[in-house]
Structure 1
Amino acid sequence: MFATRAQPVASALSAGVQTRNMATLREIQLRLKSIQNIGKITKSMKMIASTKVNKAQRAMETARSYGATSAAIYQNSKTVPLENEGNVFVVSSSDRGLCGGIHSSVAKATRKLIVAPDAQHTSGVIVLGDKAKGQMARSNRGDIQLSFSQIGKAIPTFAEAGAAADTISSSGVKFDTATIVYNKFQSAIAYEATPLKTFSLDALKASEGFTAYEVDEEILGDYKEFLFANNIYWALVEGHASEMSAKRNAMENATKNAGDMVDRLTMTYNRTRQAAITSELVDIITGASAL
């Protein structure tokens, strides 16, 4: 009699266990399928980034040759900032994400330069790209004078850099030195936030070695604007190459992590399914023994 009463209770408990196992299996299946789809997407994004890295590196090599010429002029003329003049910081980034902490690196480097003991008076911050703008707004919202968006969708061109330089020059922001902070491409897996200085026309004229250059006064202002636009172009192109390389590495790591998670979920699914089958076999054997 006791065995007869206990049998319905045991059957109900077994049914509840089977229901929970089936629900768990469905949840694992849905999650497994979702992660597999994410892995396919990240793998495709890695392939696209790998293609863009090669193009970005070729453009970077060209921009480096022009940028080295601009840096040599300031170096050979021994240009230094004027006293009691302002320093504006130009943060070079882009609008795109999914590339690790590459945008955070330029924002952190800019904040360190602003509070450095030997820093000049800060005239403001100009941000190229929405990603760095969000980073800088957290700590230096009041210093942001200008911001540019729609940057980083393709390889930057000199026309875009020239338009940005013209906008900065006509904005009314007064500065003696412009420190452009960008990500310098070092290798396929390494980049470093690097400052690049551009000086005003008065500082260039007052340089110790500038008299060696025979430049007419009429074109000197245009030449200074060209140097400013050229340095912005160098920073944008080199930052773009670093970003594409960082994105490829980030998507490669994401694909690898998705594969590892698929393996773990597959093992969990197999173990849960085996437990459900074992439970069903126990019920069948128990029922056969009761008969």
Structure 2
Amino acid sequence: MLARTTLVARPATPSFSALGQTRNMATLREIQARLKSVTNISKITASMKMIASTKTTRAQRAMNVARIYGKVSNDFVKQTDVKKAGEAKELLVTVSSDKGLCGGIHSSLSRQSRKFLAENPEAPLVILGDKAKAQLQRSYPNNIKYTFNQLGSSVPTFDEASVVASTVLNDKDLEFDNAKLMYNRFVSAIAFETDAIEYYPINQIVEAPNFKSYEFQEDVLQNLNEFLFANNLHWALVEGHASEMGAKRTAMENATKNANDMINRLSLQYNRGRQAVITNELIDIITGASAL
């Protein structure tokens, strides 16, 4: 009876070979599911890279036009030889965007903005874009006067910049002597630099030493003041948009490359595991046939 009980109870305990096969099958199933997931991600990132490449070309064309107008207006200000006052109250305008998946382009801009605010803790802050807002409002919530979003969903336009400029300049409570527009300057399709554009109000430009060489009517000066601010703002927006599209293209290219590398590793791991399962099954068949 004892021997019969032992013989009956023994097959209920799985053998080491069965445990190994079950574990391998579960592992192969997990690898196969992960391989399918990474393959889908690779297809998505490749499509986003292609879209970003098209948008980068379009953004560069708009940037080249805006850069011409921006440099001409800034050369005019430089030729007047306007100087910044010693204790001037500065306004910081951080030109960002609402979208992510473009590397550290927003972090670099927020880092330079925090550095400026650390040196000028009383400076009012205007933020364009939700990404910079989320990073700056934790450190300097009391400095924020205006925030704008939904700008540059496609290529930024001069009308959008004009609305922002009118809102800032028409606010009587927002007093500043000059403004610094912090933005990402487009260098190439794979590189950008955080830069700043200086804006001087028209009353300081009129008092500049070399302004007398220009002839202006009094009623034109206010319009010129708004145009200079809106033009600089549009230039910064378009440069930032081109830099963002270039950074997004690079980020999606790197993501696709990493996904393909992971697919190769998972495929190799899956094939090795599958081959091991087949080998174990063949060994069991051959061992059983030899025993018979």
- Give the TM-score, by structure 1 length: 0.92
Match of 2:63 in 1: 60
Contact 2:56 2:245 (8 Å CA) reproduced: yes
After superposition, the C-alpha distances for 1:42-94 in whole angstroms (9 at most, x for unaligned) are 11111111111111111001001100111112100111223433101100111
Q: Distance in 1 between matches of 2:122 and 2:189?
A: 34
Partner of 1:221: 222
Instruction: Structure 2: give runs of 5+ residues left out of the alignment.
Output: none
Q: Is the 8 A contact 1:87 1:177 kept in 2?
A: yes
Shift of 1:286: 3.2
Higher mean alpha-carbon deviation, 256-265 vs 208-217, is at 208-217
What does residue 40 of structure 1 align with?
43
SS in 2 for 1:98: coil
Structure 2 partner of 1:258: 259
Greater mean alpha carbon deviation, residues 10-19 or residues 105-114: 10-19
Q: Which shows bigger deviation, 164-173 or 4-13?
A: 4-13
Distance 1:216 1:85 in 2: 27
* Correspondence for 1:50: 53
* 1:101 pairs with 2:114: no
TM superposition shift of 1:212: 1.5
2:25 alignment counterpart: 22
The amino acid that maps onto 1:151 is L
The RMSD of aligned alpha carbons is 2.0
Separation in structure 1 between the aligned mates of residue 204 and residue 84 of structure 2, nearest angstrom: 6
- Is the aligned partner of 1:92 residue 2:64? no
Alpha carbons 2:202, 2:224 under 8 Å: kept: no
Counterpart residue number, 2:157: 157
SS at match of 2:164: helix
- Contact 2:180 2:197 (C-alpha < 8 Å) held by counterparts: yes
- Partner deviation per Cα, 1:162-181 (whole Å, 9 max, x = no partner): 00101112233111111001
How many correspondences in the alignment?
Answer: 287
Q: Please give the per-residue CA displacement for 1:206-230, whole angstroms capped at 9, x wherever unaligned.
A: 2121121111222211111110000
TM-score by length of 2: 0.92
Corresponding residue number in structure 2 for 1:110? 113
Q: Distance in 1 between matches of 2:14 and 2:124?
A: 75
Deviation at 1:152, TM superposition (A): 2.6
Counterpart CA distance in 1 for 2:160 and 2:154 is: 11
What is the identity percentage for the equivalent residue pairs of Structure 1 and Structure 2? 52
> Which runs of no fewer than 5 residues in structure 1 stay unpaired?
none
Q: Which residue pairs with 2:190 in the alignment?
A: 189
> Is 1:204 matched with 2:198?
no
Whole-angstrom distance in 1 between the partners of 2:232 and 2:186: 15
TM-superposed deviation, 1:114: 2.7
Q: CA deviation at 1:188?
A: 1.4
Q: Match of 1:77?
A: 80
3-state SS of paired residue (1:41): helix
Contact kept in structure 2, 1:96 and 1:152, CA below 8 Å? no
